[in-house]
Amino acid sequence: MIAVTKVKPLEDYKLLLQFNNSEQKIFDMSAHLDHGIFKELKDKKIFNTVKIAFDSIEWVNGADLCPDLLYEKSNKLDETQLES
């Protein structure tokens, strides 16, 4: 079972994620920001409240995502993505 062990918000609504298999990946939230509760994450102050919750992530407004989705839809870490 995949689990998120660390999360860091980045610029451009991206998240740096570390998983329990030691992989680090980048997840782009921008495609989700026009849907439901995720619209609130357009406010950078809310977006930056992301934290670990159980085996995944959650924001202060209650929005969360499945760890499997985060793993499958994220991209392997490219150091240039951290320069933003």
CATH number at residue 8: 3.30.2020.10
**33: containing domain:** 4-83
- The strand ranges marked E within the chain are 4-9, 14-19, 24-28, 51-53, 56-58, 64-65, 75-76
pTM for this model (two decimals) = 0.90
Output the CA torsion 54→3→47→27 (10° steps): -170
pLDDT bin (cut points 50, 70, 90) of residue 77 is: confident
Query: pLDDT tens digits for 37-63?
Result: 999 999 999 999 999 999 999 999 999
Domain count, the chain: 1
